[in-house]
Amino acid sequence: MFYSCLRVLMQLVLRVWFRKVFISGAEKIPVNQPVILACNHPNSFMDAVLLAVTLEQPLYFLARSDVFNTPLKKWLLNQMHLIPIYRLQEGAENLHKNKDTFDQCYEILKNNGSILIFSEGICVQEKRLRPLKKGTARLAFGATEAYNFNLNVQVIPVALNYTLPASFRKEVMVSVADPIEISNYQPIYRANPAKAIVALNKEIEQRLINNMVILPKGYEVAVEQHLEQERINQVEFKNKKWRSQSNLLLKMEQKVVKSFLAQVENEYSEIFFEEPISIDNYTQGKCRSLYHYAWRVLFLIGYGLNIWPLKLAQVITNKKVKTIEFYASVLMTLGMVFYLLYFLFLVILFSSSWGLTGFLGSLVIPFMGYGSLLYLDKQRLNPMK
């Protein structure tokens, strides 16, 4: 019940945080079968929240053990389906506790549950894939072996591609790859478990890479600028659906990166550096008619009434968060908490001042705020309109 209620709340929060979510391949995740989702990890706990909201089935998450450091946190995180995984970084003396963690995972898989694991074992906000740890393969083979290879475990690589991962009102692409049936590795595993783990890791890695936008090291800023320019010219990018069942944007971005690499190899990469493109330019719209001025007035009212919780969250996040991987996740969480408190304050204030009329008026304020976000989105996509 707690998980379901939290999921509904986070759906609303993500609808505000992201301008658009693209998802492809979700239908490949089987129902009523044991599933391990093997995911890259660029954006801290934002990644887990995003998948919990965008995928239909309830998920269990393996998370670093040091966040379970108080009884209250432990209870709360358990309600959110988080399971502690003990890493060497948290102390070698705790590694033996992973047996209980794996036993719990085996039970979940036996009951046809879905477990999400971040296979890189570390969160780094770069558009490339880090070497995969062995935990995903060990979990898959361990569960299969625990039930005498009668458990049809599916490992499904899931790639997350954020357009600008630390920024508000941008986009994210969730790409689900084809499932890997662990039963196919049974002969290799019986003969040589270590060889089977390496082989499975390589297959997971390749399927993740095939579904990721990987930027060449040293050219990230230049390529990102041109990706942004290409995005706003895509019909799929401009449609009004918040959640789009499409991989067209992913394919376009992969094509742009491939083209860039070809230019570099042929020593013509200067075309990418002719004139720097400022992403901020896309948010500076111009009003050319009374109609646009009217919309701008409504935008200013909605913006002015709703921006303060996010601004406060931004000030605190800028001051406290020192690593970019946690920036967006902390900002989103603080913004959600502050906005709920702020909205409650407005409801009480308006109701006590103007009775029922004030109460009903306060309920309109969040919709005005969301309308102001849509206005900003439109200016980004059509800066001259």
Residues 185 and 43 in one domain: yes
**Domain for residue 215, yes or no?**
no
Per residue in 221-243, pLDDT (tens digit) is 888 888 988 888 887 888 888 99
Instruction: Give the C-alpha separation, 213 to 173, whole Å.
Output: 10
Q: Is residue 362 part of a domain?
A: yes
- The 10s digit of each residue's pLDDT in 295-350 is 788 899 999 999 999 999 999 999 999 999 999 999 999 999 999 999 999 999 99
The tokens for 5 are 């209620």
Structural domain for 228, as ranges? 220-277
Domain boundary (277, 301, 320) is at 277
Count the neighbouring beta carbons within 10 Å of the beta carbon of residue 13: 17
Q: Pick from 187, 210, 233: which residue ends a domain?
A: 210
One domain for residues 262 and 113: no
- Residue whose entry in the numeric block shows the structure tokens 């060497």: 88
Question: Looking at residues 168-197, what average pLDDT do you find?
Answer: 95
Do 71 and 160 lie in a common domain? Answer: yes
Same domain, 228 and 178: no
Is residue 97 one of the residues assigned to a domain?
Answer: yes
Question: 30 and 77, same structural domain?
Answer: yes
pLDDT at position 206 is: 97
Contact 59, 50 (CB under 8 A): no
pTM (2 d.p.)? 0.88
Residue 265: its pLDDT value, please? 65
Question: Two tokens at 333?
Answer: 């969480």
pLDDT higher than 50, residue 87 = yes
Same domain, 245 and 286: no
Residue 252 lies in a domain: yes
pLDDT level of residue 383 (50, 70, 90 thresholds): low
How does pLDDT run across 266-295, given as a tens digit for each residue? 654 444 444 433 334 433 444 456 767 777
DSSP character at residue 180:
E
Domain co-membership, 376 together with 344: yes
Q: Looking at 121-125, 279-283, 376-380, which range is the least confident one?
A: 279-283
> Do 16 and 146 sit in the same domain of this protein?
yes
Query: Looking at the 3D structure of the chain, how many domains does it have?
Result: 3
In a domain, 48, yes or no: yes
Percent of all residues in the chain with a pLDDT value above 90, rounded to a whole number: 65
Are 237 and 293 contained in the same domain? no
Residue 24 is assigned to a structural domain of this protein: yes
Last residue of a domain, one of 166, 191, 210: 210
**CB atoms closer than 10 angstroms to residue 357:** 11
Which residue type, as a one-letter code, is found at position 186?
Q
DSSP 8-state assignment for residue 240? S
Q: At 11, which CATH number?
A: 3.40.1130.10
Write the pLDDT tens digit of every residue in 60-83.
998 888 888 888 888 888 888 999
164 and 296 fall within a common domain: no
> Tokens 């019986």 correspond to what residue?
190
CB atoms < 10 A from the CB of 374, how many? 14
Domain co-membership, 340 together with 289: yes
**Strand ranges (E), 87-150:** 114-118
Banded pLDDT at 88 (limits 50, 70, 90): confident
| pLDDT tens readout for residues 201-217 | 999 999 999 999 999 88
Q: Are 242 and 21 in contact (CB under 8 A)?
A: yes
Same domain flag for 65 and 206: yes
* Residue with token string 């000030």: 315
Per-residue confidence (pLDDT) for residue 275, from 0 to 100: 41
